[in-house]
Structure 1
Amino acid sequence: MLQDIQTKIEELTAELNTYNYQYYVLANSAISDYDFDQKLKELEALESEYPQYRDPNSPTLKVGGDITSKFNTVQHRWPMLSLSNTYNEQELIDFDERVRKAIGHEVAYVCELKFDGLSISLTYENGKLTQAVTRGDGIQGDEVTNNVRTIRSIPHQLKSNIAYPDVFEIRGEIFMHKSAFLRLNKEREDNGEATYANPRNFASGTIKLQDSAEVSKRPLDCFLYFLYMENRNRAYQSHWESLCAVRDWGFHVSEHSKLCSSIEEVLSFVHYWDTERHQLTYDIDGIVIKVNDYAYQEELGFTAKSPRWATSYKFKAERVETTLEAVTYQVGRTGAVTPVANLSPVLLAGTTVKRASLHNANEIERLDLYEKDTVYVEKGGEIIPKVIGVNTEKRDPSATPIKYPEHCPECGTMLVRQEGEAVHYCPNEDGCEPQIIGKLQHFIGRKMMDIQGLGDETIVTFYKLDLLRHISDIYTLQEKRDVLVTIERFGQRSIDNMIKGIADSKNKPFEKVLFALGIRHVGETVAKKLALHFKSLDNLKQASIEEIASVQDIGIRIAESVHQYLSEPEHQTELDKLKAYGLQFEIEEKTVELAGSSLEGKTFLISGVFAAHSREDLTALIESHGGKMLSSISSKLNYLVAGDKMGPSKLVKAEKLKVPIISDEELLKMINQ
């Protein structure tokens, strides 16, 4: 069963990453955004229930897609995080309850239409548009300034008689009106050119054109909806206040946004636009709900990929009926065996669906699935649309039920299913082809070791030629030029590029290596946190589960997974080989020049908002005088630095543990003393 879950997660990850690339980079998605969100939600649920099988490169840890090579890559000053998605009213109510529990009382929300377009971040200096950057992967994006300047609703220069910050960023959504989409798509069809599936893809494809003159011929529009600037909280108390300000500055802000004082008003707004959205001249796929007060936003904070103070409500998915042709089974990198429904092609939410997820054996049993059944398929944000039911009235009386296999469809090994788990797994980790190939392909990935000249197809070729079986075998290729030159369609230049890529990978920092190993639950963010905390692999090896779990944002399941991986002899042997080949297993220590030592040996946590200082300023002060920051309240905390609007739960916990609560002024006195 565990193998099944692992395979399912692996297959979902691969599918989602493929669609992510098509959606964000190629602007030619084969599936709707809603479908993608549903599939992502399914993957998140599986990873939450079975975190030991989460792929380190999981799209649930990613915000967007990869960066195209056509434009300059620019790092975002403030990351462009994605929003968590909800699909029913109860999830919105749950969101409101979590917010009120953290804040301690009712809060106001700003409701906005969720535009179906391309996210953009605009930088203005002295009122002049100086840079436009796409979301990209959330950390960095493509600079498309020249193209964005062609959009008539985006001002190039703000009026000089209006007061605005010297430097600020404003974010929004570039989109295309339905009438323009239909007209331009008809022109493309008449010219024998490929048409776009929807206005969102057309807008995205347009903004990625390198010829801004061509971009100017395609009418794009843009709504702006979020302001970033230094010390924003001092200038504005709330999101609604800043929206009103940027509208006054001359930006195109949607007139349909609304300030709501309760979750009941939020739900009324959702109900209204669920029907009225069809009257708009542009597409929306849901509603965005944001906590209005900036201080409360700061108090609520963020997860690894999304803010806790905002969510998006997605409108209900479309459902169709089609025939189940067959059920096939896929084995993923982690050994999980995932069943997939192969369907008679059917048009659903603008795309042709041929496959749908069946998740695991429990799902097949729940659906009571028979061969050639007529099934209901729904797209709700999933990469592979989901089979949600069977029309038993159309079932052939002679049909036989679908039986989940007992043996791995790839290597024939008896599948295992641990108690309490939903997924079947192939335990043949070192002898099952897709598992071995998957681990190798993960290691060389762009966000891992990024080995240029060694792609996924080459990995498969080398595996079949018995050149690769373990990760460490990659570094033996440098010594096998005589074998490599004999491989068909593998020339000297390709070999040189690959050897150079392998050599260059030895300079990748420790956190990249840790991520590349493919330890369950260790994604990019977790790998960075572990590397920064333990400094070296040797220190991490020696750490107990409790010590690993004490690291900020590292839970007990992650800690157990890391500890188990590093304790297994075969992994230790592999790590020793990689270390011998010169891979980096420790981080470079940076010398920090302290301004003083008055806080040495003391630990601090900052909560709330402060009139005279930002949290970043206070953190820098503490660390520059020898203090250490903690991420949560525990018995190890020496001082809680409290400002206005601090969450009541933190206050209660600090008082229970008798942690001293001080103000920012008292902190400064400690430093001066």
Structure 2
Amino acid sequence: MDEVEGVPVSALKRHAELSELVEDARWRYYVLDQPTVSDAQFDGWFKELLALEEAHPTLQTPDSPTQKVGAAPSGDFAKVQHLNKMESLDNAFNADDMAAWQARAERLAEGDPGPYLCELKIDGLAVALIYRDGRLERGATRGDGRTGDDVTANVRTIKGVPHRLEGDDIPSLVEVRGEVYIPVEDFKKLNEQLVEQGKPPFANPRNSAAGTLRQKDPRITAQRPLRMLVHGIGVWEGTQEPRTQSHCYDRLREFGLPVSDLYEVVPDLGGINAFIEHYRVHRHDPAYEIDGVVVKVDDFRTQRELGSTSRAPRWAMAYKYPPEEVNTKLLDIQVGVGRTGRVTPFGLMEPVVVAGSTVERATLHNAAIVVKKGVLIGDTVVLRKAGDVIPEIVGPVTALRDGSEREFVMPTHCPECGTELAYEKEGDADLRCPNARGCPAQIRERIFFAAGRRALDIDGLGYVAATALTQPLPPQEPVVRTEADLFDLTLERLIPIRSVVRDQDAQGLPKIDPRTGEQKVVTFFSNLSGEPSQNALRLMEELERAKECSLAQVLVALSIRHVGPPTARALADAMRSIDAIMNASEEELAAVEGIGPRVAATIKEWFEVDWHREIIERWRAAGVRMEDEPAPEKGPQTLEGLTFVVTGTLEGYTRDTAAEALTSRGGKVSGSVSKKTSFLVAGENAGSKYDKAVTLGVPILDGAGFEVLLNEGPEAAAGVAVTPEG
């Protein structure tokens, strides 16, 4: 079968693969503050996703990464709802991209939307501050755009952020958005202090700011040199709202809020390009790291007319500068093994400073990429620190070769268990270790993943602990041989364990003890007197708590391919128990919203493996909860079989509560208007979705019509809807 519902199977597979990569990258970047792919790589995946969805619109669902912002909150702090959605920005990478955005804005505005405000794109952490009656009430991270982490106590420690606004005519309620950062020079000093204290330094200023703002102890945050610059508003009530972005900055500065002076209002595209070019040359002049320029339509009324897509405003664009590059020596190419068995080559290089941090490792993805890049062990290579996050080997400097270089040979057997490597299916780019049950590397990675925030959230079971449990030093035997052993751990089994410390970012490479020059050994679960350490006691407490995790968290922890948090939540909501999922047919699984036949087949295949079922039964016997509470009884499903799109601002509803009102009555909510749309629910500032509904002849309901729909049903709503001629 070459197509599924008109979409080529190859496109479905690539879309699913890209979606998983993007979601994982977002989680690591926004929540863990441990990014694993470069900005350039992420942008490439995202652009490819957009292109696939443009070619095959049915792939664009509300769960698609293209319809989301950021990532879910971390879980370490109380979760809070933003007053208005915090959106992301679309990216431009060259002058043509910028011209296309300006032309599109001009077309949508039916005239020149300028002037434009140009400002620097700070590489920091996005936050929103709420001031009520002039007093700082709350500070929150962006999270997924709708829900963020409450970091109020830490925000109050940031120098320059006022606890009370100054001046006259202060709004009764104002939400300001901005970036929290650490200045470059302060970042260097902070890392020096950490090193002197024997603590690991931060990778870059952005990660240091994010890690500092997420400290559970505000006293630690207060000791760090955090700063903030405000660059926008989400809500303004009680006084006359400014007319323009630039006027808004003047007002915010009068209130005592920190606003940058490094912006300029320009009349046209020529002015935009001049500003971008100036800071391309003077990129390192500001006191903070930047990775580009943000361009905004200055007039607020025009901003509202242009509206937003599901994730980004049409009135703003981020121009991203090319990543920085340096040369260094490629000393060796080694491989690491991931939790799915994927074997990934990575380069070991002479340490080099690039984009403000020292780099000595860079991924090479797979053997084909090594060949494609033409790099040899011993080469001088071009290293690019894309987006100031993850280093990438671009290629060799062949003119510097002296004949001593040698080719990399991909191993034929797993470096950790000795199993012969193989491609999972014909045409795959990645070799995998097929010994999923017995490979120590895969078990280690899966245990670490199962303990992560997206899964069981077991504090105390980090990478060092996962390594100790699965790969202790002889003569101890592993106490965790598969996930099935996890909840059978006891203090008696933990105490004897000694382990080599491994660096998770090095994909399994051992850390070196600087005092001895040898691999660093730790007794992680016992103290000097042989009694249980705090690590051991905390782990046992956390394992007991994890037994009460939701079914969705358990499903994620099982490392079923393609079952991340959204898919796990959909399965749990639909079937309520592990037994129902395990015994469901492929057709029943595929019928779950957002699953589809490909993922259903993967889920069914996973549950048919004996040792996978053993994990479930052992966890169940240990007391892990394997079902959720029964779903609440549904009310009348008056909207069953109908598809809705919600756009604009509805009085009395947020976008989420309006969608919930529809889905609770059996309706389906889509992110885009098509001929299959039953009704468009359009509030104020509806934007392009309204225009498309008019073009397609889709019935349109205003706020009053929406209430008729909810209270009296679709037939009554059809009588009050505006039905344009298609």
Could you state the TM-score of these two structures normalised by the residue count of structure 1? Answer: 0.75
One-letter amino acid matched to 1:551: E
One-letter amino acid matched to 1:662: L
> 2:361 aligns to what SS in structure 1?
strand
Closer, same or farther: CA 366–505 of 1 in aligned 2, 3 Å: same
- Corresponding residue number in structure 2 for 1:300: 309
- 1:478-505 Cα deviation digits (max 9, x unpaired): xx66655665654456665444432321
CA contact (8 A) 1:133 1:145 kept: no
- Judge which range, 39-48 or 72-81, deviates more: 39-48
- Corresponding residue number in structure 1 for 2:409: 403
> 2:376 aligns to what SS in structure 1?
coil
1:204-215 aligned at under 5 Å gives the runs: none
CA contact (8 A) 1:506 1:583 kept: yes
1:663 and 2:705 aligned = no
Closer, same or farther: CA 527–49 of 1 in aligned 2, 3 Å: farther
CA contact (8 A) 2:122 2:289 kept: yes
One-letter amino acid matched to 1:503: E
- Corresponding residue number in structure 1 for 2:723: none
Residue 545 (structure 1) shift: 6.2
Residue 557 (structure 1) shift: 5.7
In 2, the alpha carbon distance for the partners of 1:214 and 1:297 equals 39
In 1, the alpha carbon distance for the partners of 2:248 and 2:597 equals 40
Closer, same or farther: CA 566–638 of 1 in aligned 2, 3 Å: farther
- Corresponding residue number in structure 2 for 1:565: 606
> 1:427 aligns to what SS in structure 2?
coil
- Judge which range, 424-433 or 74-83, deviates more: 74-83
- Judge which range, 421-430 or 567-576, deviates more: 567-576
Residue 368 (structure 1) shift: 2.1
In 2, the alpha carbon distance for the partners of 1:421 and 1:485 equals 43
- Corresponding residue number in structure 2 for 1:457: 464
Closer, same or farther: CA 606–446 of 1 in aligned 2, 3 Å: closer
1:588 and 2:609 aligned = no
- Corresponding residue number in structure 1 for 2:341: 335
- 1:606-650 Cα deviation digits (max 9, x unpaired): 333257454548727944983534225578754332346656578
1:77 and 2:82 aligned = yes
CA RMSD of aligned residues (A): 5.3
Residue 123 (structure 1) shift: 2.1
Match of 2:437 among 430, 452, 455: 430
- Corresponding residue number in structure 2 for 1:639: 679
- Corresponding residue number in structure 1 for 2:560: 519
CA contact (8 A) 2:106 2:112 kept: yes
In 2, the alpha carbon distance for the partners of 1:334 and 1:244 equals 53
- Judge which range, 488-497 or 382-391, deviates more: 488-497
CA contact (8 A) 2:643 2:676 kept: no
CA contact (8 A) 1:150 1:212 kept: no
- Corresponding residue number in structure 2 for 1:473: 485
- Corresponding residue number in structure 1 for 2:669: 630
> 2:422 aligns to what SS in structure 1?
coil
One-letter amino acid matched to 2:642: T
1:266-277 aligned at under 5 Å gives the runs: 266-277=272-283
In 2, the alpha carbon distance for the partners of 1:425 and 1:598 equals 47
> 1:229 aligns to what SS in structure 2?
strand
Residue 429 (structure 1) shift: 1.6
- Corresponding residue number in structure 1 for 2:719: none
Closer, same or farther: CA 262–589 of 1 in aligned 2, 3 Å: farther
Match of 2:363 among 357, 368, 384: 357
> 2:228 aligns to what SS in structure 1?
strand
One-letter amino acid matched to 2:409: K
Closer, same or farther: CA 213–497 of 1 in aligned 2, 3 Å: closer
Residue 402 (structure 1) shift: 2.5
Residue 289 (structure 1) shift: 4.3
- 1:346-369 Cα deviation digits (max 9, x unpaired): 232332222222221222111222
Structure 2, gaps ≥5 residues long = 1-15, 53-64, 472-476, 499-524, 717-726
In 2, the alpha carbon distance for the partners of 1:618 and 1:67 equals 23
Match of 1:112 among 111, 119, 124: 119
One-letter amino acid matched to 2:310: G
- Judge which range, 288-297 or 324-333, deviates more: 288-297
In 2, the alpha carbon distance for the partners of 1:355 and 1:640 equals 51
CA contact (8 A) 1:299 1:646 kept: no
> 2:174 aligns to what SS in structure 1?
strand
Residue 39 (structure 1) shift: 6.1
Residue 546 (structure 1) shift: 8.9
- Corresponding residue number in structure 2 for 1:30: none
- Corresponding residue number in structure 2 for 1:608: 647
In 1, the alpha carbon distance for the partners of 2:117 and 2:496 equals 64
In 1, the alpha carbon distance for the partners of 2:25 and 2:679 equals 47
Match of 2:381 among 334, 350, 375: 375
> 2:470 aligns to what SS in structure 1?
helix
In 2, the alpha carbon distance for the partners of 1:15 and 1:158 equals 37
CA contact (8 A) 1:8 1:332 kept: no
In 1, the alpha carbon distance for the partners of 2:652 and 2:466 equals 53
- Corresponding residue number in structure 2 for 1:37: 39
In 1, the alpha carbon distance for the partners of 2:574 and 2:267 equals 42
One-letter amino acid matched to 1:527: A
> 2:177 aligns to what SS in structure 1?
strand
CA contact (8 A) 1:117 1:203 kept: yes
In 1, the alpha carbon distance for the partners of 2:451 and 2:166 equals 50
CA contact (8 A) 1:318 1:349 kept: yes
Closer, same or farther: CA 611–132 of 1 in aligned 2, 3 Å: closer
- Corresponding residue number in structure 2 for 1:3: none
One-letter amino acid matched to 1:471: E
- 1:244-283 Cα deviation digits (max 9, x unpaired): 6645655343344456787776544422332244554554
In 2, the alpha carbon distance for the partners of 1:557 and 1:264 equals 49
- Judge which range, 125-134 or 371-380, deviates more: 125-134
In 2, the alpha carbon distance for the partners of 1:539 and 1:396 equals 64
CA contact (8 A) 2:29 2:36 kept: no
Closer, same or farther: CA 421–543 of 1 in aligned 2, 3 Å: same
Closer, same or farther: CA 502–283 of 1 in aligned 2, 3 Å: closer
Match of 2:593 among 551, 560, 568: 551
Match of 2:448 among 441, 447, 468: 441
Structure 1, gaps ≥5 residues long = 1-5, 25-32, 51-57
Closer, same or farther: CA 637–67 of 1 in aligned 2, 3 Å: closer
Could you state the TM-score of these two structures normalised by the residue count of structure 2? Answer: 0.70
In 2, the alpha carbon distance for the partners of 1:338 and 1:187 equals 32
Closer, same or farther: CA 251–297 of 1 in aligned 2, 3 Å: farther
CA contact (8 A) 1:103 1:648 kept: no
CA contact (8 A) 1:110 1:289 kept: yes
In 1, the alpha carbon distance for the partners of 2:101 and 2:441 equals 39
> 1:411 aligns to what SS in structure 2?
coil
> 1:123 aligns to what SS in structure 2?
strand
One-letter amino acid matched to 1:584: R
- Corresponding residue number in structure 2 for 1:151: 159
- Judge which range, 570-579 or 509-518, deviates more: 570-579
> 2:456 aligns to what SS in structure 1?
coil
In 2, the alpha carbon distance for the partners of 1:432 and 1:38 equals 32
- Judge which range, 392-401 or 427-436, deviates more: 392-401
In 2, the alpha carbon distance for the partners of 1:567 and 1:176 equals 51
CA contact (8 A) 1:61 1:523 kept: no
- Corresponding residue number in structure 2 for 1:28: none
Closer, same or farther: CA 308–505 of 1 in aligned 2, 3 Å: farther
CA contact (8 A) 2:385 2:391 kept: yes
CA contact (8 A) 1:332 1:435 kept: yes
CA contact (8 A) 2:693 2:700 kept: no
> 2:280 aligns to what SS in structure 1?
helix
